[in-house]
């Protein structure tokens, strides 16, 4: 047993780990932050590489509901962390229950971000010297990938699962927020309204404030 919070998030400001900072704020449970400085390559230290051999953030350490999983289990990759936390903390309401009809769309959106949206965007911004044949890729163009998100929001909304906010919104919403800030998000009234709604969530605002404070420190 320990008095330490169950979860510890390895986080670096202005990185993909900010989305997990937001996720953890949405859960309402206490959590610790293990800070990293990418400019000093602390994410490449041997101690951290033992947790995440990829040398990337985020990584989440879970000591278990009673705090007795010593030294704790480690989850890496944003989509995996979102799925893990939402299921580990069902009281947070961040995922539809297993066996419910909403679970199918939820699982699809969790996979859609890293397997479709991100690679499609990378292709658009950093094109190959020789274009790959469409049959060799598991994702469409970025425009088509984004169009699927738009259509889902237009068909239901205001969130990806309709009226219900979920961890899928954290994952996909955070990517779209980043693209918008970078000036790489095409104009879309639907997506702009979606991002404006996400920005009003108190947990998102707390995560942004914590991230900006860490950046300024």
CA distances in angstroms from 101 to 7, 64, 105, 149, listed in the order given: 30, 29, 8, 19
Evaluate whether residue 212 is within a structural domain: no
Residue 103: phi and psi, rounded to 5, are: -65, -30
- Residue 158 tokens read as 């205001």
For residue 2, the model assigns a pLDDT of 58
Same domain, 12 and 37: yes
For residue 213, the model assigns a pLDDT of 87
Same domain, 107 and 174: yes
Number of compact structural domains in the chain: 2
Same domain, 194 and 115: yes
pLDDT in tens, the chain (217 residues): 457 899 999 999 989 999 999 999 999 999 999 999 999 999 999 999 999 999 999 999 999 999 999 999 999 999 999 999 999 999 999 999 999 999 999 999 999 999 999 999 999 999 988 888 888 999 999 999 999 999 999 999 899 999 999 999 999 999 999 999 999 999 999 999 999 999 999 999 999 999 998 876 6
For residue 215, the model assigns a pLDDT of 76
Residue that terminates a domain, selected from 68, 94, 120: 94
Domain that holds residue 68: 7-94
Evaluate whether residue 217 is within a structural domain: no
Same domain, 157 and 193: yes
| pTM for this prediction | 0.95
- Residue 92 tokens read as 């947070």
Same domain, 20 and 52: yes
Same domain, 117 and 176: yes
- How large is the angle between the packed helices 202-216 and 17-27, nearest 10 degrees? 130
Residue that terminates a domain, selected from 94, 112, 136: 94
CA distances in angstroms from 146 to 18, 36, 92, 115, 137, listed in the order given: 22, 32, 28, 13, 16
For residue 214, the model assigns a pLDDT of 80
- Residue 163 tokens read as 């009226």
């Amino acid at each position: 047993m320990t008095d330490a919070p169950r979860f510890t998030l390895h986080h670096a400001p202005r990185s993909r780990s900010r989305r997990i900072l937001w996720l953890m704020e949405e859960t309402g449970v206490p959590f610790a932050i293990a800070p990293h400085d990418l400019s000093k390559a602390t994410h490449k230290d041997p101690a951290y590489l033992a947790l995440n051999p990829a040398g990337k953030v985020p990584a989440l350490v879970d000591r278990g509901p009673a705090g007795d999983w010593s030294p704790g289990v480690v989850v890496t990759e944003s989509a995996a962390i979102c799925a893990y936390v939402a299921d580990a903390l069902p009281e947070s309401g961040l995922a539809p229950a297993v066996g419910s009809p909403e679970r199918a769309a939820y699982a699809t959106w969790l996979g859609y971000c890293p397997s479709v949206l991100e690679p499609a965007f990378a292709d658009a911004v950093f094109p190959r010297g020789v274009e790959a044949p469409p049959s060799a890729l598991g994702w469409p163009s970025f425009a088509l990938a984004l169009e699927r998100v738009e259509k889902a929001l237009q068909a239901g909304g205001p969130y990806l699962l309709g009226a219900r906010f979920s961890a899928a919104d954290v994952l996909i919403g955070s990517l779209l927020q980043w693209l918008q800030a970078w000036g790489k998000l095409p104009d879309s009234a639907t997506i702009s309204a979606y991002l404006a709604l996400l920005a009003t969530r108190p947990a998102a605002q707390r995560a942004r404030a914590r991230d900006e404070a860490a950046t300024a420190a």
